[in-house]
């Protein structure tokens, strides 16, 4: 038994033997006179009432918050459109402070942070928002894409690949096919920048298999395939594009380059001529056209040529190769008259032996000699390219012929 | 053909129930909660814990909304208010809060933790209900108008107040009413923090001081139900968005150790500032108490013009610090200004909590230390956010001196177990530094300044408990056997230095007999009669060396001494303990 108990009203101890607190002026009235079970029931009713009141208050407050959030969000969009990136960030942050879970705000803030970029910790904050969104929607294409961009910016190749693929196979609200294609193109650009040509080529082949009849798009993918040396696949796309639009200059240039890279200089010349004429800015195509034309002009093994022309070309090629040899030797300080272990000296000696007979009148009569002379020419071009780097102009044409194992030699 | 309408017959004994019969049935079902049924008190206590949790959760939800609403009305919807509001709102708010506190709610001063402890240890669990109302109104107003305080400790006190009112009204026993306040405290804190484990641990670590099985279940129930309510209405998102963290190299733990040192030093500075300023401001004339919160508000407003982050609880800025939004210089300034502004708010007598400011300072300090370390050691892989997260726990350990809660708080808030090593290292260092240079913890210091001698949980944790082995001595004699012939037993007893002789029976049970009693039986006994016919049936309680010494006192009763036996072999005597031995051990401990 307790010697004394605290007064439920004032907290002071009721002395032993007394039933009422002597310190309280009167007892607590009806509320304190209730039986325990009745009081417990009243408590339950109060609890329900408080639940309702709290629910109402929370609902009203959330409505107010949502209103503020929407206002700040709209303001942020306006600031963003007006190019006020920092103000937009502050606006989106304020919007989000009133509506923490709104995925639209989170995504927009993350995008704004990434766009602002230079602000401190933008990546980290954006990543946290995006990862949070991803947790709720692992298949969200937009979120995956933004995360992929973030990873790409940080040069995290494996993460970028994972998120890009998440975006490609993810869900998109509007025009999913177009979006997925755009993401794959972005992924290819990223892979090319990261030097991952094989992976890029695989993505491009997958992309090419599902392209619509859209000549500019086909041309774009073809161009990307050219960057990964997928000439055959690229050529198919350029041809498809040209079927729809035969005068499409980039497609013509692309096809020309494919032929050029495959060593078909006649076709290359055919496809490259028109775009180079149409667009003077296609400098690379123009250079390729020049080289293709040079190859066609210098190749002595063309079947349509008569012996005289064949000999003339071989003699010209020989003289050109000799000049290239002398220039390269001078550049490297090699004395061609001396005998030593240098391959250029050996080639010089070999050329010196051939030089008296490497004239049009001998070559037109002796096809064996012509072959011998051209072999020497190719050897000189390859050796000098190895020693002094890629040549320009006619020598480049000769080198390409050498690489094609003698051009169109029968 | 129309069928005749037939009313189904009503059975004579099945009348539709009346309101009074339903009421009677409900009361019958609730009859077990009637007063005077001791067994049912335990069930009622648990039911009450759930009800307290629900009420606390609801009140905390309303409290949070009241704070946010006050803030919106006072400062507008922008995150950074215009400078005029920064100056005016906390000043006017301070004046209003001071008036309310002095005129209507004098008990709501302070954070609420010590008041709850006082209710437990001094006032038999009594917390007047108007404290709950006062705490709600004044704290919502103070925090909402920019005073640098937090809502957690007031929530704790509100929970305790609700629990106290319910417990008293339901006429629980004194012991239960006393224990009900911590139950409510846990519920309030859990709802405010959205972290039930941390709340339970804090209440056990700082308020109750030990793991009392009788109240632990109720505390857990209350905390869980309050968090359920809080999440129901406010959502289950964490207070902060936690940055990704992985410990890449163990050498990085050194960097967190440095954070622990900084956290310890900052905690010391914070506590010393409060310890120095609070009694001095309290000693000023009474009229100044009306203007102290206003002046504190004005100074905070001045700081807030450049650093609006220091106003209010500042959770959104903790979140930003975790995501590398500030340079380390700004973070360091924010930590310093928050220490200053929170000290100003607190020592001026403005009611409000210290938890949120502690987390804020810790996060800023952690971020600053992380930023500096990254500047000098760029190879460190842990992001600044991870340092901010660890910093929160570090200051919690150093400033509030609750090491266990500080570790679990970070784990619970982050949901990331891999952060545990840095947290443990940093928190321990901060705690040790704080303990070394500031003997009393903040809560103990405040209670002593208020003229109360509340038990220090920290000191209690470190009290050396005396065990039986500390008082035990060797038994100076031979243990008799109940089968011994009387003459042999008497001879052996006479040879013993003990006045109380121990005996052991064939079942390894212990008995005892006074030497004088044995001598008294000698005239009527034959020499060969066995002792077993003489000794009483009652067996002697025994002890083990590892038992607490107060257990020996309980078991000793009227016996002159008790045997101390091995746990592995109950027949093996290791020593004996008597009342003089026990008192001697206590005296020796008191002297040391």
Per-10-residue mean pLDDT, chain A, length 410 = 56 63 61 72 92 94 92 91 84 86 84 69 71 85 90 87 92 88 92 90 88 90 89 90 88 91 87 86 86 85 84 89 88 78 83 83 84 89 87 82 60
Say yes or no to pLDDT of B429 above 90: yes
What is the distance between the alpha carbons of residues A192 and A184, in angstroms, rounded to a whole number? 12
Asked if B237 has any chain A CB less than 8 Å from its own CB, the reply is: yes
Query: What Cα–Cα distance (Å) separates residue A229 from each residue in A211, A255, A258, B47, B527?
Result: 19, 13, 9, 76, 118
Q: Give me the pLDDT at residue A102, please.
A: 82
Asked if B244 has any chain A CB less than 8 Å from its own CB, the reply is: yes
Shortest distance between the Cα of A83 and any Cα of chain B, in A, equals: 20
Q: Give me the pLDDT at residue A89, please.
A: 85
What's the alpha-carbon Rg for chain A, to the nearest Å? Answer: 41
Considering CB atoms only, which of B51, B65, B80 is closest to A57?
B65
Q: Give me the pLDDT at residue B359, please.
A: 94
What interhelical angle do B19-29 and A36-81 show, nearest 10? Answer: 90
Q: Return the residue in A9, A61, A62 with the most chain B beta carbons within 10 A, the one to mutate for interface testing.
A: A61
For B194-239, give the secondary structure using H, E and C: CCHHHHHHHHHHHHHCCCCHHHHHHHHHHHHHHHHHHHHHHCCCCC
Say yes or no to pLDDT of B159 above 90: yes
pLDDT digits 0-9 by tens, B389-414 = 999 999 999 999 988 899 998 888 88
Name the residue of chain B whose CA is nearest to A106's CA: B241
pLDDT digits 0-9 by tens, B48-78 = 999 999 999 999 999 999 999 999 999 988 8
Domain B468-591 falls under CATH 3.10.580.10: yes
What is the distance between the alpha carbons of residues B534 and B505, in angstroms, rounded to a whole number? 12
CB B357, CB B370: distance < 8 Å: no
**Is B62 close to A54, i.e. CB distance below 8 A?**
yes
Shortest distance between the Cα of B258 and any Cα of chain A, in A, equals: 23
Residues of chain A in contact with residue B324, where contact means CB-CB under 8 angstroms, are 120-121, 124-125
pLDDT digits 0-9 by tens, B454-463 = 877 777 766 7
Interface of B with A in 41-70 (CB under 8 A): 51, 54-55, 58, 61-62, 65, 68-69
Tell me how far apart the 2 most distant CA atoms of chain B are, in Å: 117
Asked if B231 has any chain A CB less than 8 Å from its own CB, the reply is: no
Interface of B with A in 80-109 (CB under 8 A): 80
Q: Which residue has the tokens 């000999």?
A: A311
Considering CB atoms only, which of A40, A58, A128 is closest to B323?
A128
For the B35-234 domain, the top CATH level (class) is mainly alpha
Q: Give me the pLDDT at residue B18, please.
A: 72
pLDDT digits 0-9 by tens, B325-366 = 788 888 999 999 999 999 999 999 999 999 999 999 999 999
Q: At A102, phi and psi to the nearest 5?
A: -70, 115
What percentage of chain B reaches a pLDDT higher than 90?
A: 46
Stated pTM of the model: 0.68
Considering CB atoms only, which of A5, A11, A36 is closest to B34?
A36
Q: Give me the pLDDT at residue A69, please.
A: 93
Q: Find the Cα–Cα–Cα–Cα dihedral B183, B185, B188, B193, rounded to 10°.
A: -110
Name the residue of chain B whose CA is nearest to A129's CA: B241
Residues of chain A in contact with residue B121, where contact means CB-CB under 8 angstroms, are none
Say yes or no to pLDDT of B17 above 70: no
**Is A120 close to B61, i.e. CB distance below 8 A?**
no
Asked if B37 has any chain A CB less than 8 Å from its own CB, the reply is: no
Considering CB atoms only, which of B51, B61, B244 is closest to A47?
B51
Question: How many contacts (CB atoms, under 8 Å) link A and B?
Answer: 108
Helix, strand, coil abundance in chain B, percent, nearest 5: 65, 5, 30
pLDDT digits 0-9 by tens, B278-325 = 999 999 998 898 999 999 999 999 999 999 999 998 888 888 888 777
Q: At B502, phi and psi to the nearest 5?
A: -90, 140
Say yes or no to pLDDT of B416 above 70: yes
The confidence band for B38, taking pLDDT boundaries of 50, 70 and 90, is very low
Residues of chain A in contact with residue B79, where contact means CB-CB under 8 angstroms, are 90, 93-94, 97
**Is B384 close to A121, i.e. CB distance below 8 A?**
yes
What is the distance between the alpha carbons of residues A110 and A95, in angstroms, rounded to a whole number? 13
Interface of B with A in 370-399 (CB under 8 A): 383-385
Name the residue of chain B whose CA is nearest to A102's CA: B237
Asked if B227 has any chain A CB less than 8 Å from its own CB, the reply is: no
Asked if B437 has any chain A CB less than 8 Å from its own CB, the reply is: no
β-pair type (B480-481, B500-504): parallel
Shortest distance between the Cα of A289 and any Cα of chain B, in A, equals: 51
For the A75-136 domain, the top CATH level (class) is mainly alpha
CB B521, CB B543: distance < 8 Å: no
What is the distance between the alpha carbons of residues B552 and B191, in angstroms, rounded to a whole number? 43
Edge to edge, the sheet with strand B500-504 lists: B480-481, B500-504, B510-514
Considering CB atoms only, which of B123, B125, B327 is closest to A120?
B327
Q: Return the residue in B49, B133, B324 with the most chain A beta carbons within 10 A, the one to mutate for interface testing.
A: B324
pLDDT digits 0-9 by tens, A236-282 = 999 999 998 888 888 999 999 999 888 888 888 889 888 888 888 88
Residues of chain A in contact with residue B33, where contact means CB-CB under 8 angstroms, are 36-37, 40
**Other CB atoms within 10 A of residue B381 CB:** 13
Considering CB atoms only, which of B79, B243, B384 is closest to A128?
B243
Name the residue of chain A whose CA is nearest to B60's CA: A54
Q: Which residue has the tokens 């009393």?
A: B440
Please determine whether the domains at B35-234 and B252-455 fall in the same fold group of CATH: yes
Count, residues in chain B:
592
Which of A60-74, B35-49, B380-394, B523-537 has the weakest average pLDDT? B35-49
CA–CA–CA angle B97, B99, B105 (5° rounding):
80
**Is B320 close to A100, i.e. CB distance below 8 A?**
no
**Is A71 close to B77, i.e. CB distance below 8 A?**
yes
CB B349, CB B101: distance < 8 Å: yes
The CATH 1.25.40 domain(s) of chain A lie at 75-136
Domain B252-455 falls under CATH 3.40.140.10: no
Adjacent-strand bridge partners of B467: B548
Residues of chain B in contact with residue A67, where contact means CB-CB under 8 angstroms, are none
Residues of chain B in contact with residue A151, where contact means CB-CB under 8 angstroms, are none
Q: Return the residue in B70, B140, B169 with the most chain A beta carbons within 10 A, the one to mutate for interface testing.
A: B169
What is the distance between the alpha carbons of residues A321 and A395, in angstroms, rounded to a whole number? 7
Count, residues in chain A:
410
For B327-381, give the secondary structure using H, E and C: CHHHHHHHHHHHHHHHHHHHHCCCCCECHHHHHHHHHHHHHHHHHHHHHHCCCCC
Q: Where are the domains of chain B?
A: 35-234, 252-455, 468-591
């Amino acid at each position: 038994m307790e010697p004394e108990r605290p007064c439920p009203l004032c907290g002071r101890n009721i002395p032993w033997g007394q039933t009422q607190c002597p310190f309280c002026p009167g007892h607590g009235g009806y509320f304190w006179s209730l039986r325990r079970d009745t009081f417990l029931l009243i408590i339950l009713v109060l609890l329900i009432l408080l639940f309702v009141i709290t629910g109402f208050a929370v609902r009203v407050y959330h409505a107010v918050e949502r209103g503020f959030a929407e206002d700040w969000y709209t303001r942020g969009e306006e600031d963003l459109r007006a190019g006020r990136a920092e103000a937009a960030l502050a606006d989106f942050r304020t919007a989000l402070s009133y509506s923490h879970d709104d995925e639209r705000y989170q995504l927009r803030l993350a995008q704004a942070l990434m766009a602002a970029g230079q602000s401190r910790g933008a990546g980290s904050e954006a990543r946290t928002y995006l990862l949070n969104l991803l947790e709720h929607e692992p298949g969200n294409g937009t979120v995956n894409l933004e995360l992929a961009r973030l990873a790409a910016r940080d040069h995290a190749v494996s993460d970028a690949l994972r998120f890009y693929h998440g975006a490609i196979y993810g869900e998109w609200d509007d025009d999913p096919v177009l979006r997925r294609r755009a993401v794959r193109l972005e992924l290819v650009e990223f892979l090319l920048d990261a030097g991952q040509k094989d992976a890029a080529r695989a993505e491009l082949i997958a992309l090419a298999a599902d392209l619509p009849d859209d000549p500019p798009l086909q041309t774009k993918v073809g161009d990307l395939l050219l960057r990964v040396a997928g000439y055959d696949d690229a050529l198919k796309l350029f041809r498809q594009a040209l079927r729809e639009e035969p005068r499409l200059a980039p497609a013509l240039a692309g096809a020309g380059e494919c032929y050029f890279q495959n060593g078909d200089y006649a076709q290359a010349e055919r496809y490259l001529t028109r775009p180079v004429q149409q667009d003077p800015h296609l400098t690379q195509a123009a250079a390729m056209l020049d080289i293709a034309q040079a190859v066609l002009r210098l190749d002595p093994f063309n079947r349509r040529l008569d012996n005289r022309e064949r000999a003339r070309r071989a003699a010209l090629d020989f003289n050109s190769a000799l000049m290239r040899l002398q220039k390269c030797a001078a550049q490297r300080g090699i004395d061609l008259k001396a005998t030593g272990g240098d391959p250029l000296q050996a080639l010089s000696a070999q050329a010196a032996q051939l030089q008296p007979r490497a004239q049009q009148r001998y070559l037109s009569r002796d096809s064996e000699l012509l072959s011998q002379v051209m072999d020497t020419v190719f050897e000189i071009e390859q050796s000098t390219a190895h020693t002094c780097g890629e040549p320009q102009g006619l020598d480049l044409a000769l080198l390409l012929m050498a690489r094609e194992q003698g051009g169109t030699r029968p | 053909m129309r069928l005749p309408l037939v009313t189904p017959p009503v059975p004579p004994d099945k009348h539709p129930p009346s309101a009074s019969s339903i009421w009677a049935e409900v009361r019958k079902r609730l009859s077990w909660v009637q007063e005077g049924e001791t067994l049912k008190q335990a069930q009622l206590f648990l039911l009450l814990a759930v009800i307290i949790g629900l009420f606390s959760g609801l009140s905390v939800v309303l409290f949070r909304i009241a704070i946010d609403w006050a803030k919106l009305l006072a400062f507008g919807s922008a995150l950074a208010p215009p400078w005029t509001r920064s100056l005016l709102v906390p000043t006017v708010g301070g004046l209003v809060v001071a008036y309310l506190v002095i005129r209507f709610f004098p008990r709501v001063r302070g954070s609420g933790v010590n008041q709850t402890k006082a209710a437990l240890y001094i006032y038999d669990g009594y917390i007047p209900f108007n404290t709950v109302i006062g705490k709600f109104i004044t704290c919502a107003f103070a925090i909402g108008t920019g005073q640098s305080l937090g809502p957690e400790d007031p929530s704790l006190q509100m929970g305790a107040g609700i629990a106290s009112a319910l417990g008293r009204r339901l006429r629980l026993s004194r012991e239960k009413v006393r224990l009900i306040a911590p139950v409510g405290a846990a519920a309030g804190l859990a709802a405010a923090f959205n972290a039930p484990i941390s709340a339970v641990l804090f209440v056990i670590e700082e308020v109750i001081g030990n793991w009392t099985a009788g109240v632990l279940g109720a505390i857990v129930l209350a905390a869980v139900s309050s968090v359920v309510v809080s999440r129901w209405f406010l959502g289950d998102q964490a207070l902060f968005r936690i940055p990704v963290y992985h410990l890449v190299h163990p050498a990085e733990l050194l960097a967190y150790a440095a954070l622990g040192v900084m956290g310890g030093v900052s905690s010391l500075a914070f506590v010393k500032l409060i310890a120095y300023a609070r009694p001095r401001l309290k000693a000023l004339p009474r009229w100044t108490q009306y203007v102290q919160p206003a002046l504190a508000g004005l100074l905070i407003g001045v700081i807030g013009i450049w650093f609006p982050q220091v106003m209010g609880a500042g959770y959104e800025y903790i979140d930003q610090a975790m995501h590398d939004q500030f340079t380390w210089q700004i973070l360091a300034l924010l930590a310093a200004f928050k220490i200053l502004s929170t000290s100003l708010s607190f020592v001026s007598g403005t009611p409000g909590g210290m938890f949120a400011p502690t987390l804020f300072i810790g996060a800023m300090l952690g971020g600053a230390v992380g930023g500096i370390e990254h500047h000098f050691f760029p190879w460190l892989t842990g992001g600044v956010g991870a340092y901010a997260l660890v910093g929160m726990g570090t200051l919690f350990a150093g400033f509030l001196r609750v090491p266990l809660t500080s570790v679990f708080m970070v784990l619970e808030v982050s949901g990331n177990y891999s952060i545990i090593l840095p947290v443990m290292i940093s928190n321990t260092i901060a705690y040790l530094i704080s303990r070394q240079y500031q003997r009393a913890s903040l809560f103990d210091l405040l209670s002593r300044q208020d003229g109360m001698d509340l038990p220090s949980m920290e000191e209690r944790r470190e009290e050396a408990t005396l065990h039986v082995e500390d008082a035990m001595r060797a038994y100076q004699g031979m243990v008799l056997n109940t089968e011994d012939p009387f003459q042999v037993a008497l001879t052996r007893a006479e040879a013993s230095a003990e006045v109380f002789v121990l005996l052991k029976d064939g079942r390894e049970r212990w008995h005892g007999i006074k030497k004088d009693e044995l001598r008294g039986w000698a005239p009527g006994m034959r020499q060969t009669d066995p002792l077993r016919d003489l000794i009483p049936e009652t067996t002697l309680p025994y002890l083990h060396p590892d038992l607490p010494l107060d257990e020996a006192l309980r078991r000793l009763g009227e016996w002159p001494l008790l045997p101390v036996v091995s746990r592995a072999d109950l027949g093996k005597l290791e020593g004996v303990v008597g009342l003089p031995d026990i008192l001697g051990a206590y005296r020796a401990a008191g002297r040391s």
